[in-house]
């Protein structure tokens, strides 16, 4: 049980018996006052339960949107962050409906019957949609950022290549390097050519064809950072989960706020417009202009929060 006024409590959540191939349990972190409106904050596949405060006590992974005086504020909300369930062997990908059931178990564990809102970005937005479709009585509203009712074919193709590289790395004994390369490939879809043009100079200065370019050094750094938070097997499981996502959006009747980026290559504006048309409840769509594309929910978190805050307070 959680005590009134408790802050940043970690709870172990037993997975439903038929989902134990994704582990026996996962973790949820609950922050804020007991009795405050509950808000679940979910991000991409590398996101974790440390949404308000990092594991080291520093900032969480969503600064600008979650935190003091932000749209999601543990001083005003009961904030939940979740560690997604994944197959530790990398051989099986959960559906987003499976993750929705894990979230339902996490809410049960935290003693929360109904949440005021789920704020979900990227994969977290997919899970939020699946939860609203599967458990309509347990959520009052959705804020969905850069997620659609199903994957875009071009995005699925890019992720399939990434998974093949990681699988090859596992077979050849170079799994960490393969994971870093796959992450670099993913960054090319998370961001935009226009941003790379603004930040980097093209071409090589060395006769060595494997020497890094300016942009390549950035991608190598992002790949190294990714290895610190993601195993190759977990990546395979959760990347595959993205491509198993399909929900009947018409069954979702709660109010929804949709936020996308006009420059998003993974979830193009047309997909966000289709989702807005499919959802069964009152829906508002905002498309923001930015250089960063799909990563807008991280790089432009304050601007996204300016849209979400009045929606949560309505």
| Block residue for tokens 């930040």 | 199
Q: Is 89 a catalytic residue?
A: no
CA distances from 162 to 29, 52, 156, 176, 184 (A): 30, 30, 10, 13, 9
294 is catalytic: yes
- Asked if 177 contacts 292 with a C-beta cutoff of 8 angstroms, the reply is no
In the set 122, 146, 237, 239, the catalytic residue is: 122
- Cβ contacts of residue 251 below 8 Å, gap of 6+? 133, 136, 280
174 is catalytic: no
- The active-site residue, picked from 83, 98, 264, 295, is 264
Tell me the catalytic residues.
122, 264, 294
């Amino acid at each position: 049980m959680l005590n009134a006024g408790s802050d940043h409590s970690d709870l172990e959540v037993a997975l439903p018996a038929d989902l134990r191939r994704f582990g026996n349990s996962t973790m949820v972190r609950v922050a804020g006052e007991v009795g405050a409106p509950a808000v679940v904050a979910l991000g991409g596949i590398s996101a974790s339960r440390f949404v308000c405060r990092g594991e080291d006590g520093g900032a969480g992974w969503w600064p600008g949107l979650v935190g003091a005086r932000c749209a999601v504020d543990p001083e005003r909300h009961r904030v939940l962050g979740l560690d997604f369930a994944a197959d530790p062997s990398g051989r099986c990908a959960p559906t987003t409906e499976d993750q929705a059931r894990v979230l339902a178990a996490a809410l049960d564990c935290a003693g929360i019957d109904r949440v005021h809102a789920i704020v979900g970005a990227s994969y977290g937005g997919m899970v939020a949609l699946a939860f609203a479709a599967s458990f309509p009585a347990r959520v009052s509203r959705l804020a969905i950022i850069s997620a659609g009712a199903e994957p875009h074919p071009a995005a699925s193709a890019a992720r399939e290549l990434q998974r093949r590289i990681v699988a090859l790395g596992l077979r050849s004994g170079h799994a960490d390097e393969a994971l870093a390369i796959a992450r670099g490939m993913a960054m090319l879809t998370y961001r935009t050519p226009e941003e790379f043009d603004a930040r980097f100079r093209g071409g090589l200065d060395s006769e060595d064809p494997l020497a890094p370019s300016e942009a390549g050094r950035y991608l190598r750094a992002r790949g190294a950072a990714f290895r610190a938070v993601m195993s190759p097997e977990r990546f395979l499981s959760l990347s595959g989960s993205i491509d198993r996502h399909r929900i009947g959006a018409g069954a979702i009747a709660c109010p929804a706020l949709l936020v996308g980026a006009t420059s998003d290559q993974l979830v193009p504006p047309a997909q966000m417009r289709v989702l807005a048309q499919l959802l069964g409840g009152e829906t508002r769509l905002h498309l923001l202009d930015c250089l960063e594309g799909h990563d807008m929910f991280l790089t432009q978190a304050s601007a996204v929060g300016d849209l979400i805050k009045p929606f949560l307070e309505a």
